[in-house]
Amino acid sequence: MDGKPLLEAAGLVKSFGETRVLRGVDLAVPAGTVSVLIGPSGSGKTTVLRCLNALERPEAGLVRIGDVSVDFAALPQQGRRAALRAETRLRAQSGMVFQAHHLFPHRSALENLLEGPVVVQGRPREEARAEALVLLERVGLKGREDSLPSQLSGGQQQRVGIARALAIRPQVVLFDEPTSALDPELVGEVLAVMRDLAEGGTTMVVVTHEIRFAQQVADQVLFLDGGVVVERGPAAQVIADPREERTRRFLRRLLDPL
Ligand SMILES: Nc1ncnc2c1ncn2[C@@H]1O[C@H](COP(=O)(O)OP(=O)(O)O)[C@@H](O)[C@H]1O
Ligand SMILES: [Mg+2]
C-alpha cells in the first residue's frame, strides 16, 4: 500500500442545462472500506456515482480509481476517440448496482453475469462462467442460475444485480439506493449480501437511506445537499452527532418522517 486511497474524486462539477447539480464534490475512499452517501432527493447522489463510473461527464473534476484517472476538464481537448477510450477504461474499474436492477429480461441470471466479462471485456466464456457460478453462490442464488429475472423475487433480482456488478472484477462497487425499490421484507436479504461483501474487504460506495446499515457497516458517511458535501466523517459521528444543522434536520426527517 502506498497510502493513497483506492478511489479519489476531486472538484466534480456537473450541470444539466442551466442547472448546476454538483458544485465541487471531493471524495476519498481507502481500499477495503465502505463509504455511505446520504442526502435529500435531488441533492446529486446518483450523479456523483454516475460520474465515478463515467456514465456522466462532469465539466470539471478528476476521478481516479487505482492507477486509472480521468481529468474531465481536459477530456474535450483530447479528441473524441481518446476521450471515449479514457472513459471506458475508468468505467471498467467500478461495478454499478442500480436502484432497479436493470437486468436483461430475456436472459437467465447466469447469462446476465456473462455479458460484462465476455462481451465487454472479451474474457474466455468458460472462465467467466465458472466465476459467475461462484458469484451467484456468494449472493445466495446457487441453483437459480437458469432462472429468468421474472422468475425471481425483487430481492433475488437485486442480488443478481450485485453479482453482475462483481463479475467484471471491479476495484470498487457503487450502489445507488439498492434497496429502495424493494418490498420492505426483501430489504434485509440484500443488505445482508452487502454486509458480507464489506466484511470480505470489497471497497464500496453506497447511496442509501438505510441508516442502520450505514451505522453498522460504513467507515465514512458523507452528507450531500445541493451538490456539495456538507459534512463527512466516521459513521458514528455524522449519524449520531452531526455537526451541521442541515445534516441534523435531514436525519431527523429520515428517522421520524411524521
Ligand atoms: N439526465 C438529467 N437531465 C437533467 N437533469 C438531471 C439529470 N439527471 C439528474 N438531473 C437533476 O439533477 C439533480 C440531482 O439528481 P440526482 O443526482 O439524481 O439526485 P439524487 O440521486 O440525490 O436524488 C436533480 O435536480 C435532477 O432532477
Ligand atoms: Mg438518486
Options 3.50.50.60, 1.10.1060.10, 3.40.50.300, 3.40.50.720; CATH of 1-93+174-181+209-258: 3.40.50.300
- CB of 92 closer than 6 angstroms to any ligand 1 atom: no
Q: Supply the DSSP string of 175-225, one letter for each residue.
A: EESTTTTS-HHHHHHHHHHHHHHHHTT--EEEE---HHHHHHH-SEEEEEE
CB 46 less than 6 A from any atom of ligand 1: yes
Q: Bigger pLDDT: 206 or 255?
A: 206
Nearest CA to ligand 1 atom 27: 42
47 in contact with ligand 1, CB cutoff 6 A: yes
Q: Quote the ligand 1 centre to 258 CA distance (angstroms).
A: 26
CA 36 – ligand 1 centroid, Å: 19
Is the separation of the CB atoms in 118 and 125 below 8 Å?
yes
Cell numbers standing for residue 49: 456515482
Q: How many CA atoms lie within 13 A of 163 on its CB side?
A: 32
HEC sequence for 9-41: EEEEEEEECCEEEEEEEEEEECCCCEEEEECCC
Ligand 1 binding pocket includes 61 (Cβ within 6 Å): no
Q: What pLDDT shows up at residue 100?
A: 82
| Cα–Cα distance measured from residue 202 to residue 211, given in angstroms and rounded to the nearest whole number | 20
pLDDT in tens, 9-37: 999 999 999 999 999 999 999 999 999 99
pLDDT-based confidence at residue 2 (cuts at 50, 70, 90): low
CA–centroid distance, 117 to ligand 2, in Å, is 27
DSSP state of 58: -
pLDDT at 145 over 80: yes
Of ligand 1's listed atoms, the one at least distance from the Cα of 48 is 17
Q: How confident is the model at residue 102 (pLDDT cuts 50, 70, 90)?
A: confident
Average pLDDT over residues 101-126: 94
Atom of ligand 1 nearest to the CA of 17: 4
Q: What is the mean pLDDT of residues 118-142?
A: 96
Atom number of ligand 1 nearest to Cα 22: 14
Structural domain spans, the chain: 1-93+174-181+209-258
- Give residue-wise pLDDT tens across range 190-246: 999 999 999 999 999 999 999 999 999 999 999 999 999 999 999 999 999 999 999
pLDDT of 7 strictly over 60? yes
